[in-house]
Amino acid sequence: MSRTRVHNLFVSLDGFAAGEHVTFDEPIGGAERLFGQFDGRAIHGMQGVDAPFTVDRALTTLWGQGIGAEIMGRRKFGPQTGPWPDDDWQGWWGDEPPFRTPVFVLTHHHHEPIEFANGTSFHFVDGTPAEALRLAAEAAGGQDVRIGGGPSTVQQFLKAGLIDFLHLAIVPIALGRGTPLFGDLTGVESRFDIETVTSPSGVTHQLWNKKSGT
Amino acid sequence: MSRTRVHNLFVSLDGFAAGEHVTFDEPIGGAERLFGQFDGRAIHGMQGVDAPFTVDRALTTLWGQGIGAEIMGRRKFGPQTGPWPDDDWQGWWGDEPPFRTPVFVLTHHHHEPIEFANGTSFHFVDGTPAEALRLAAEAAGGQDVRIGGGPSTVQQFLKAGLIDFLHLAIVPIALGRGTPLFGDLTGVESRFDIETVTSPSGVTHQLWNKKSGT
């Protein structure tokens, strides 16, 4: 059974999981404080190999386990809007994107695929969450599909009932503004069994596993 | 920097981490209750791929990350004592031992190496913890070395100051008898930074990272 999973989704105490406007200078739209205690590698569950094994590390390293493909929103790939400019943009990650699987970027505008030597490839799809998931699941070859964010993308997939697992990292800050994670998803928690665990870092981790039969 | 790590060491509230006498029928020497809530795969951090992602799973899956070799005590390999009988015993794990790395079994008695197709190989060494660790670190090729137990073996390595990381899973049962983990290691905790986290299963996980400079 291939699952659809969300990992390392950092959310503020007031429910924001990213800033409002992504720019080249602010990839998280001004909500960088959400990730203040974590370096970029920890966000991806790939802390430096020499770092201590902490509770946060244990939880965030689930990110890559058994994942065969990712789906991400366009704003996670880059700050551009509208038709894609001819700017050789290949994402935020340089020559070694950490995904190492096919990645499906949701966009209404055509873009040729991009391939990296480390196993990462970006494919640009215009479709519903269910359609994108069908493509990603096929590419994942029996492994799980990760919904990589941002929050609007996760919200769409939650709304469509397509999420089997969700890992929230609740950061003890009041962000005040940004991209809300839940929006009008009132009562969405009722479809999940939820484990909550506190970390010495101050982060609260929640593991949402879809209830069987839902 | 290659580290020496202990993972998924289940210990009772009274400090026992295994039973007293390992037999063919009781691989954990009558202390199977320690692992009551976990199947064998969870003990090894390799829960069924379809199992929910729980706090316990997140913590136990650190077991295999970045490990290049294991060292285990003789009683973890088998219940025999004295010179090895000519009984074709190849460990408890059948044709697919979960280690997939070289494994060094501490024993005073000679035994030829055993190789499995899945990357696991057993090598039998008669030496001090430091000597065994030198062999294992070399075999690990820059990755970390796991001290796989049992408790007496972990205790020896702790006593020798050779453990860089220790993950304890404290199970809320009073075992009453068995193999103690700490023995005379009074104050050993002072050499470590310790994070404690409770799991909804009732297990308390502790992550001991050696203090820098110790």
Q: Cα-flanking dihedrals φ and ψ of residue A134, to 5°?
A: -60, -45
- How far apart CA A154 and CA B131 sit, in angstroms, is 51
**The two structure tokens encoding residue A25:** 């200078």
Q: Could you tell me which residue, B18 or A76, shows the higher pLDDT?
A: A76
Q: Beta partners for B16? A: B180
Print the SS3 string covering chain B.
Answer: CCCEEEEEEEECCCCEEECCCCCCCCCCCCCHHHHCCCCHHHHCCCCCCCCCCCHHHHHHHHHHCCEEEEEEEHHHHCCCCCCCCCCCCCCCCCCCCCCCCEEEEECCCCCCCEECCCCCEEEEECCCHHHHHHHHHHHHCCCEEEECCCHHHHHHHHHCCCCCEEEEEECCCCCCCCEECCCCCCCHHHHEEEEEEECCCCCEEEEEEECCCC
Q: Is residue A199 helix, strand or coil?
A: coil
pLDDT at A153: 96
Mean pLDDT of A132-149: 96
**Chain A residues lying within 8 Å of B46, measured CB to CB:** none
Residue pLDDT, tens place only, B22-78: 777 777 777 777 776 444 434 444 456 678 888 988 898 888 889 999 999 999 999
Residue B140 Ramachandran class (φ > 0 left, ψ -120 to 50 alpha, else beta): alpha
Calculate the alpha carbon distances from A92 to A96, A120, B74 in Å.
Answer: 10, 13, 50
pLDDT at A192: 97
Could B209 and A54 be called an inter-chain contact, meaning their C-beta atoms sit closer than 8 Å?
A: yes
A interface with B, Cβ–Cβ < 8 A, is 1, 3, 5, 49-50, 52-55, 57-59, 61-62, 65-66, 165, 167, 193, 195-200, 205, 207, 209
- How far apart CA A211 and CA A166 sit, in angstroms, is 12
Q: What percent of chain A has pLDDT over 90?
A: 61
Angle between helices A151-159 and A129-140 (to 10 degrees): 100
Residue pLDDT, tens place only, A45-78: 445 667 888 888 889 888 888 999 999 999 999 9
pLDDT at B105: 98
For domain A4-79+97-210, give the fold.
Dihydrofolate Reductase, subunit A (3.40.430)
CB pairs under 8 A between A and B: 71
Q: What percent of chain A has pLDDT over 70?
A: 93
Could B55 and A199 be called an inter-chain contact, meaning their C-beta atoms sit closer than 8 Å?
A: no
Q: Which helix (H) or strand (E) holds A197?
A: strand A192-198
pLDDT at A48: 64
- How far apart CA A125 and CA A139 sit, in angstroms, is 13
Could A200 and B196 be called an inter-chain contact, meaning their C-beta atoms sit closer than 8 Å?
A: yes
Q: Best of A46, A55, A198 to disrupt the B interface by mutation (most B CBs within 10 Å)?
A: A55
Which of A5, A61, A199 has its CB closest to that of B197?
A199
Q: Which helix (H) or strand (E) holds A52?
A: none
Q: The domain B4-80+97-210: what is its CATH number?
A: 3.40.430.10
pLDDT at A42: 42
Q: What percent of chain B has pLDDT over 70?
A: 93
**Chain A residues lying within 8 Å of B198, measured CB to CB:** 197
B interface with A, Cβ–Cβ < 8 A, is 1, 3, 5, 49-50, 52-55, 57-59, 61-62, 65-66, 165, 167, 193, 195-200, 205, 207, 209
**The two structure tokens encoding residue A38:** 């974590």
Residue pLDDT, tens place only, A95-139: 999 999 999 999 999 999 999 999 999 999 999 999 999 999 999
**Chain A residues lying within 8 Å of B55, measured CB to CB:** 59, 195, 197, 205, 207
Q: What is the ipTM of this complex?
A: 0.80
Domain boundary assignment for chain B:
4-80+97-210
**Chain B residues lying within 8 Å of A3, measured CB to CB:** 50
Closest chain B residue to A52, measured at CA: B209
Q: How confident is the model at residue A31 (pLDDT cuts 50, 70, 90)?
A: confident
- How far apart CA A58 and CA A60 sit, in angstroms, is 6
Contact B5, B136 (CB under 8 A): no
Averaged pLDDT of chain A: 89
pLDDT at A173: 86
Using only C-alpha atoms, chain B has a radius of gyration, in whole angstroms, of 16
pLDDT at A43: 44
Could A200 and B197 be called an inter-chain contact, meaning their C-beta atoms sit closer than 8 Å?
A: yes
For residue B27, which of B78, B73, B93, B83 has the smallest C-alpha distance? B78
Could A59 and B58 be called an inter-chain contact, meaning their C-beta atoms sit closer than 8 Å?
A: yes
pLDDT at B41: 38
pLDDT at B64: 87
pLDDT at B48: 64
pLDDT at B36: 61
Which of B165, B167, B197 has its CB closest to that of A197?
B197
**Chain B residues lying within 8 Å of A50, measured CB to CB:** 1, 3
**The two structure tokens encoding residue B65:** 């990350």
Q: Is residue A159 helix, strand or coil?
A: helix
Residue pLDDT, tens place only, B79-117: 999 999 988 999 999 999 999 999 999 999 999 999 999
Q: Could you tell me which residue, B4 or A26, shows the higher pLDDT?
A: B4
- The DSSP code sequence of A80-149 is --SSPPSS----TTTT--TT-SEEEEE-SS----EE-TTS-EEEEE-S-HHHHHHHHHHHHTTSEEEE--
pLDDT at B101: 97
